[in-house]
Amino acid sequence: MSLAQMVTAGTSRFCSLLIVNLLCAMLLIGSAPTVFAQIAPAKESLSDLYPGKAYSPYAQRGFPDQLLWGDTHLHTGLSMDAGLFGARLGLDEAYRFARGEEVMASSGQPARLGRPLDWLVIADHSDGMGFFNDLAAGDPDILKFDQAKPWYEGLQAGGEASAAAALSLIGTFSQGQINPEMMEEYSPGGKTYASIWERVVDAAERFNEPGRFTAFIGFEWTSLVAGNNLHRNVIFREGAAKAGQVVPYTTQAPVGSTDPLDLYKYLENYEASTGGSALALAHNGNLSNGIMFPVDKQYTGRKLDATYVEQRARWEPMYEVTQIKGDGEAHPLLSPDDAFADYETWDAGNLDLSEAKTEKMLQYEYAREALKNGLLLEKRLGTNPYKFGLIGSTDSHTGLAAVEEENFFGKATNAEPSPKRMLHPFMKSEKGVFEGYQMVASGYTGVWAKENTREEIWDAMERKEVYGTTGPRIRVRFFGGWDYIDEDLMSRAPAFLGYKKGVPMGSDLPARKGEGAPTFMVYALRDVIGANLDRIQIVKGWLDARGKTHEKVYNVAASLGRQPDASGVLPPVGNSVDIASTNWTNTIGSPDLGAVWTDPDFDPEQSAFYYARVLEIPTPRWVVYDAFRFGIELPEGAETTHQERAYTAPIWYTP
Q: How far, in Å, CA of 35 to CA of 381, rounded?
A: 64
pLDDT score of 535 more than 50: yes
Whether residue 452 is contained in a domain is answered as yes
Whether residue 174 is contained in a domain is answered as no
609 versus 28: the higher-pLDDT residue is 609
- Give the model's pLDDT for residue 48: 53
* Preceding peptide of 443 cis, ω within 30°: yes
Whether residue 466 is contained in a domain is answered as no
73 and 15 in a common domain: no
- Give the model's pLDDT for residue 303: 98
pLDDT classification of 52: cutoffs 50, 70, 90: low
Alpha-carbon 10 to chain mean position: 32
494 and 637 in a common domain: yes
Q: What is the CA radius of gyration of the chain?
A: 25
Find out whether 230 and 258 touch, Cβ atoms under 8 Å: yes
- Give the model's pLDDT for residue 495: 94
pLDDT score of 12 more than 80: no
583 and 509 in a common domain: yes
* Digit-coded pLDDT (tens) for 587-620: 999 999 999 999 999 999 999 999 999 999 999 9
pLDDT score of 17 more than 70: no
Among 400, 434, 460, the domain-final residue is 460
Find out whether 466 and 507 touch, Cβ atoms under 8 Å: no
Torsion angles phi and psi, residue 91, rounded to 5 = -65, -45
- Give the model's pLDDT for residue 263: 98
DSSP code of residue 40: -
Whether residue 188 is contained in a domain is answered as no
User: Which residues 6+ apart lie within 8 Å of 324 measured at CB?
Assistant: 394, 395, 396, 403, 410, 411, 439, 440, 441, 442
417 and 272 in a common domain: yes
441 and 504 in a common domain: no
365 and 417 in a common domain: yes
447 and 359 in a common domain: yes
Find out whether 376 and 362 touch, Cβ atoms under 8 Å: no
- Give the model's pLDDT for residue 577: 98
Q: Rounded mean pLDDT of 369-393?
A: 98
Whether residue 49 is contained in a domain is answered as no
569 and 492 in a common domain: yes
- Give the model's pLDDT for residue 41: 46
308 and 272 in a common domain: yes
Mean pLDDT of the chain: 91
* Digit-coded pLDDT (tens) for 188-205: 999 999 999 999 999 999
Q: Which helix (H) or strand (E) holds 160?
A: helix 159-174
Residue 584: domain span: 6-27+475-653
The region of weakest confidence among 78-82, 379-383, 457-461, 463-467 is 78-82
pLDDT classification of 310: cutoffs 50, 70, 90: very high
Helices of type H across 38-87: 43-46, 80-84
HEC states along 375-437? Answer: HHHHHHHCCCCCCCEEEECCCECCCCCCEECCEECCCCHHHCCCCCCCCCCCEEECCEEECHH
The region of weakest confidence among 46-50, 103-107, 214-218 is 46-50
517 and 453 in a common domain: no
Whether residue 510 is contained in a domain is answered as yes
494 and 417 in a common domain: no
Q: How far, in Å, CA of 125 to CA of 121, rounded?
A: 12
SS3 25: helix
* Preceding peptide of 254 cis, ω within 30°: yes
pLDDT score of 61 more than 90: no
479 and 456 in a common domain: no
Q: Rounded mean pLDDT of 615-633?
A: 97
Whether residue 292 is contained in a domain is answered as yes
Pairing verdict, β 119-122 and 232-236: unpaired
Whether residue 152 is contained in a domain is answered as no
pLDDT score of 32 more than 70: no
> How many Cα atoms are found within 13 Å in the side-chain-facing hemisphere of 646?
32
Q: How far, in Å, CA of 71 to CA of 404, rounded?
A: 13
Q: How many domains does the chain have?
A: 2
* Digit-coded pLDDT (tens) for 69-107: 999 999 999 999 999 888 999 999 999 999 999 999 999
- Give the model's pLDDT for residue 51: 53
Q: Rounded mean pLDDT of 447-459?
A: 98
Q: How far, in Å, CA of 40 to CA of 289, rounded?
A: 69
398: left (phi over 0), alpha (psi -120 to 50) or beta: alpha
pLDDT score of 26 more than 70: no
- Give the model's pLDDT for residue 21: 43
- Give the model's pLDDT for residue 7: 34
Give the dihedral sign, CA 568/593/393/542. Answer: negative
Find out whether 86 and 107 touch, Cβ atoms under 8 Å: yes
- Give the model's pLDDT for residue 96: 98
* Digit-coded pLDDT (tens) for 112-156: 999 999 999 999 999 999 999 899 899 999 999 999 999 999 888
Count of beta carbons in the 10 Å neighbourhood of residue 277? 17
Percent over 90 (pLDDT), the chain: 82
Among 460, 490, 525, the domain-final residue is 460
Q: Rounded mean pLDDT of 333-362?
A: 97
Among 460, 494, 525, the domain-final residue is 460
- Give the model's pLDDT for residue 37: 34
Percent over 70 (pLDDT), the chain: 92
* Digit-coded pLDDT (tens) for 566-581: 888 899 999 999 999 9
Give the dihedral sign, CA 401/321/615/477. Answer: negative
